[in-house]
Amino acid sequence: MGRPLRIYHNPRCSKSRAALALLEERDLHPEIVHYLDTPPSTAELRQLLDRLGMTPRQLLRTGEAEYAELGLADPTLGDEAIIAAMAAHPRLIERPIVVSGDKAALGRPPEAVLTLL
């Protein structure tokens, strides 16, 4: 595989650990981005969403406390407000995300990342 791989990873998440293990089992060693420590910018998030073919709301973790605290269930909130909330509160970003070139996959289930290979 010629393109570098990157995984937006949370080591405390079982799905994230499983996706990383699936890649490593195939002798692939992605760049690991601990996105809770180094959150993606709003521009990076827009690029990830474009590569995933998803809307910001589709990438939003609705079970996190910040979701309720920030009123993100409000259907009138626009994409930019949701992207800004995810950049400021990275726990709201669904995980893991694996990027290869101009494509990305959300590892839910973890095997979904194998579609990039």
79 is catalytic: no
Overall number of domains in the chain: 1
Q: Which of 3, 5, 8, 13 is catalytic?
A: 13
- Cα separation, 117 vs 109, in Å, equals 15
Q: Which helix (H) or strand (E) holds 50?
A: helix 42-52
Tens digits of per-residue pLDDT, 69-111? Answer: 999 999 999 999 999 999 999 999 999 999 999 999 999 999 9
Tens digits of per-residue pLDDT, 30-72? Answer: 999 999 999 999 999 999 999 999 999 999 999 999 999 999 9
Range(s) of the domain holding residue 111: 5-116
Q: What is the CATH number of the domain that holds 85?
A: 3.40.30.10
Confidence of residue 1 (pLDDT cuts 50, 70, 90): very low
